[in-house]
Amino acid sequence: MSNQLLKRYASRIQRLIQQHIVQHSIHKNYILNLPAIGNFVRIKTFGMIEEKTQILLMRRERKMVRMRPYGMCPHFQSTPPTDHRPPHQGSSDGRSRTDPKLLLLVETAYPRLGRELAETLVHNRLRYKMEVAGKSLPALTNLDKGRYSVIVFENYHRYLNMDKWNRELLDKYCREYGVGILGFFPPANRHMTGVKVKGFPLYLHTKLSLRDAMLNSASPVLRVARAGGVYQGPFPGDDWSVFTANHTTYEPVAWGSNSSGGERDEYIPLATVMQDHGMYDGISRVLFGNGLNFWLHRLLFLDSLSYLSKGLLSISLERQVLVDIDDIFVGESGIRMWKDDVHDLIETQDRIRQLVPGFKFNLGFSGKYFHRGTWEENEGDDTILENVDKFNWFCHMWNHMQPHLYNNETHLEYEMSLNKAFAEAHGIPANSSYSVAPHHSGVYPVHELLYTVWKKVWKIQVTSTEEYPHLRPARLRRGFVHRGIKVLPRQTCGLFTHTIYVDRYPGGRKKLDESIMGGELFQTIVYNPINVFMSHMSNYGSDRLALYTFESVFQFIRCWTNLKLVSSGPMELADKYFKMYPEEIDPVWGNPCLDQRHLKIWSYKKSCQHLPKFLVIGPQKTGTTALYTFLSMHPNISANIPSKETFEEIQFFNGRNYYKGLDWLVTS
């Protein structure tokens, strides 16, 4: 068949597909016969069919083989996680002799491992002080109290090779105040066997490749990490050090097996993390044979801090989880949910509830796009509404338009009222007091109109965003309260609106599994006591990646940690969050013009030119008003309009004015 004839066939078939599939007027039986034609066209026409139509045909042709989530833990014999408690604090009267803070001694001002350690501490909100290890130690005491409850060495050789004066001073402090030492042995340049650790009955074997990690269930160090199984697979890197000892003070915390030696060495357990009980010199220690590249050692790092500090540097063992599904009823034809997708959503939710008590998916809907798909997708919309009581719900704007684009309160109120009327007409609960704006628009940077209309139409009390104070780094996301609405930090799960097929996932399934099994998603849950996750309706159709992702990560956490996963509604989460972090209630207003993402969700009527270029800040009665007045006399300096109440400068940073936000400042 000639290319010209092929093009004619392709053109005719393309018109049929566009007219009947996209406009939803095709008969069901005819649709089911179309894939053969579609497959023929896709092979022969070299991409002549539009991408949207190709996705739709792919969905119909694709054999739906659901990815199996991470399996149960047979090696744990289905026993629930142990409810460990932090160790008792040191003194008999319940008062600690040290502050809940650690001293991190690093090699240089810009250390690689030291930076990883510091980032982990920040993510877990553990107090620390970083110092470059030099000729002298920083002050260790304040009057009769120790400043630090754990001393951490980025390079343990620094401790071993300290001069006599500083070494005796540090050891005396550790013994007197019950302070532990945590150390990391840096990678060695060559393979060495049985190298004695200076001054201790401990020996190092270096430059090894390891695999198959296992934890010592008898170790008192374990708290977050859960022993009982073997994590099969290679350790990252080929520069691991392992420990052997000939003194009872030492006890392995974790093992690996040698994958770089011969067959005889393969199944011999080698200690990668070693605990020193302090029976040799009166000081408790935990030593690591490498850094934090291996996810399991990140857990052991946190557990070691808790153990060595006698509970002062501990994280909670409870994790609150809420999974939002944005864009319900939104999406182009070909990426929306079908009836069987909804049924699988419900079945997976039931299974997840066995791992996370109280769990329900939280659905954010935009009513305008109801029944805007193919007949299969419209059937999926109907199935969602038939099971409306099985989910929690929140408003996601009627037309999925970003609120910062509205500058008229009446228009914004009308759009929200349409979504509320849709909810009432279809039996969707409209009393959750929670909402999320499309693209987090208007939440931060604050669009005051959104907060006003949210409270007026939906009585919103809680929302969430990934943009405060910035999207990256995720460890610095925080919450705040503005105009009575509590804003929670929102987390990403690695899935976005376009992430619908596993073979199109960036990096493939291997990359997704790495995030689940000890990687970014796993660490997000471990490090954050309260997790509000963002996902999208398209992630639950096609290959149903979101179902695979969340069920797998919850199961993996159940297998390898003692964390207790629970789920609550947004109101309860917000109350717990700000009770846990009351210092975050007051917002910290940043400059939207310094973040390109913030500029994209900032009203076009607001200008960077309206923000102050220079601030005069100082306590009252110190001459700030005079300085402000003199500066205002300069012809190239424009100042704020004087306050109508004080007839002086507006004093933005006093409490009352500050809480009014940047919109008030730029119009004053």
Model confidence pLDDT, tens digit, residues 294-343: 999 999 999 999 999 999 999 999 999 999 999 999 988 889 999 999 99
Determine the pLDDT at residue 650. 77
At 265, the pLDDT band (50, 70, 90 cuts) reads low
What pLDDT shows up at residue 52? 53
Tell whether domain 102-309 is in CATH 3.40.50.620: no
> How would residue 278 be classed by pLDDT, with cut points 50, 70 and 90?
very high
pLDDT band at 75 (very low <50, low <70, confident <90, very high): low
What tokens were used for 310?
A: 């006698």
Tokens for 184?
């990391």
Question: What's residue 92's pLDDT?
Answer: 44
What kind of architecture, by CATH, is found in domain 318-584? Answer: Alpha-Beta Barrel (3.20)
Its pTM stands at: 0.88
Whether the Cβ atoms of residue 201 and residue 280 lie closer than 8 Å to each other: yes
User: Crossing angle, helix 295-308 and helix 112-123, to 10 degrees?
Assistant: 70
> Is 70 exceeded by the pLDDT of residue 131?
yes
pLDDT given for residue 523 in this prediction: 98
Residue spans per domain, the chain: 102-309, 318-584, 612-667
Dist. CA 620–CA 631, nearest whole Å: 18
Residues 448, 488: Cα–Cα separation, whole Å: 17
Question: Predicted confidence band at 48 (pLDDT cuts at 50, 70, 90)?
Answer: very low
DSSP for 402-469? -GGG---HHHHHHHHHHHHHHHHHTT------BB--GGGTTTTTT-HHHHHHIIIII---EEEES-SS
> Given a cut of 90, is residue 415 above it in pLDDT?
yes
42 has pLDDT over 70: no
Q: Is the pLDDT of residue 82 over 90?
A: no
Residues above pLDDT 90, as percent of the chain: 72
Residue (of 92, 192, 98, 184) closest to 133 by Cα position: 184
What is the predicted pLDDT for the residue at 53? Answer: 57
Average pLDDT, the chain: 88
Residue 200 or residue 70, greater confidence: 200
Q: Which of 104-113, 323-332, 434-443, 638-647 is the least confident region?
A: 638-647
For residue 43, is pLDDT > 70? no
Q: State the pLDDT at residue 45.
A: 37
- The more confidently predicted of residues 262 and 116 is 116
pLDDT, average across residues 227-238: 93
Q: What's residue 262's pLDDT?
A: 57
> Per-residue pLDDT tens for 479-500?
999 999 999 999 999 999 998 9
pLDDT in tens, 152-183: 999 999 999 999 999 999 999 999 999 999 99
Strand extents, DSSP E, 246-373: 250-258, 269-276, 285-288, 318-328, 362-365
pLDDT level of residue 14 (50, 70, 90 thresholds):
low
Do domains 102-309 and 318-584 share one topology? The answer is no
Confidence tier at 27 by pLDDT (50, 70, 90): very low
Region 50-54 average pLDDT: 55
pLDDT at position 423 over 90:
yes
Question: What pLDDT score was predicted for residue 23?
Answer: 43
Strand-pair category, 250-258 with 564-566 = unpaired
Predicted local distance difference test score (pLDDT) of residue 506: 93
Tell me what pLDDT residue 517 has: 96
**For 47-61, 438-452, 479-493, 513-527, which range has the lowest pLDDT when averaged over its residues?**
47-61
Mean pLDDT of 428-453: 96
pLDDT of residue 206: 96
pLDDT digits (tens, 9 = 90+) for 556-566: 999 999 999 99
pLDDT in the model for residue 642? 75
Query: Is 621 a catalytic site residue?
Result: yes
Residue 658 scores a pLDDT above 70 = yes
More confident residue, 404 or 44: 404
pLDDT of residue 203: 98
Of 21-35, 102-116, 250-264, 645-659, the one with minimum mean pLDDT is 21-35
Specify the residue for token string 């009575």.
484
Q: How far is CA 170 from the centre of its chain?
A: 37
Mean predicted confidence (pLDDT) in 512-523: 97
pLDDT at 628 (0 to 100): 82
Q: Is 648 helix (H, G, I), strand (E, B) or coil?
A: coil
How many residues does this entry show for the chain?
A: 668
Catalytic residue among 28, 164, 579, 621: 621
List of E strands, 18-106: 102-106
Most confident stretch, 13-22, 327-336, 544-553: 544-553
Mean pLDDT of 348-368: 98
Average pLDDT over residues 25-42: 37
CA distance 299 to 526: 9
* pLDDT of residue 3 exceeding 70: no
CA 88/CA 93 separation, integer angstroms = 11
Instruction: Specify the range with the lowest mean pLDDT, choosing from 101-115, 261-275, 534-548.
Output: 261-275
Please report the pLDDT score of residue 12 as a whole number.
52
Nearest to 9 by CA among 54, 40, 32: 40
